[in-house]
Amino acid sequence: MRRRLRPGVRSRRRIVDGIGQVASESGMRLTDGQSAAAEALACDGPVYLCGPPGRGKTQVVDWFVGVVTATGTAVRRRHVHEFFADLHAAIDRSGGWRGGLDAVLRGVDVLCLDEFAVHDPADGVFLDRVLRALISREIRVIVTSNRTPAEQMPNPLFHAGFEPTIAFIEDVFTIVDVGGAHDLRADGGTTGFRGGRWMVGATLGPPPVGTRGVHCRAVRLLGRDAGTVWMEFAALCDAPTAAADYLKLAERFDHWVIVGLDVPDGVDPLARWATVLDVAHDADVRIDVWASCERDDLASALTRALPDAGRAVSRMNAWRISRES
């Protein structure tokens, strides 16, 4: 049995103050919702942070992780579906559930699961088993989600079957609404993902320098030069690409130039674009888009097609809009 971390009053205050200090050093001030989240994160036990996209849930967990890892706490942080993939692979390697859990949780004090969203009944069953196993092992679990527990598994055909898991989450987790009317991503930024641009009506020629006509996994590139890569939207999202392809791009290039973007036909390219945004955001990759459509047109298409489009729309809102004169 693992020893659960139980911070005392002074330790909790140091964590809260540390989160505030890191925010201040980043030129930011905690919102009311983030302050409530910081207080919950500084205490013991599982925490479920929920609220609309762009309210700073991921950000406050970033700051928390930075503070506690500096004191020796072992934190593992994954997108929830990445963690599922890790666990499935570990189960296959070890030949069983217990061995798989042992492999992915070895040495972990705190497990952070980002973008917690459940739509598929099979995922719901697996998630229930995972959460109960984590709590029984006294692994501290921290979750971020755009939905409250009761809003998970929104399809009414499957929701009733997930209600025991919802009840478990509501009973075990401290639930904090990191709300607020303002989308922090709309403030934009100057570097990394937040420094991206959406150029409307512009054309972009081939890369002026660099290697051209190459591939990175399944994605055909127009060209690459040092940390910058040029590619067509169709090659990135119309083709049958996946998160692993985008992760490899993010490992090799910290600036993506995407040309020829228009509102695509069908759900699959939109779903891939949402995944591109997830990967690029988490890796802090700058994206410059040259599009024939307005950003709002693509946002509307995403909202019509995808159940959790709010996250993708919020992320695009971080980018500055320019227009070809």
Backbone angles phi, psi at 322, to 5 degrees: -130, 160
Residue 322 has pLDDT above 90, yes or no: no
Q: What is the pLDDT of residues 42-73, one digit of tens each?
A: 998 999 999 887 788 888 998 999 999 998 99
Q: What is the pLDDT of residues 102-123, one digit of tens each?
A: 999 999 999 999 888 888 898 8
pLDDT at 120: 86
Q: What is the pLDDT of residues 120-157, one digit of tens each?
A: 898 899 999 999 999 999 999 999 998 999 999 988 89
> In the block, which residue shows the tokens 């996250």?
311
Q: Which CATH architecture has domain 184-323?
A: 3-Layer(aba) Sandwich (3.40)
Note whether 9-177 and 184-323 share their fold: yes
Q: Where are the domains of the chain?
A: 9-177, 184-323
Q: What is the DSSP string of 23-82?
A: HHHTT----HHHHHHHHHHHSSS-EEEE-STTSSHHHHHHHHHHHHHTTT--EEEEEHHH
Q: Which CATH number does 9-177 carry? A: 3.40.50.300
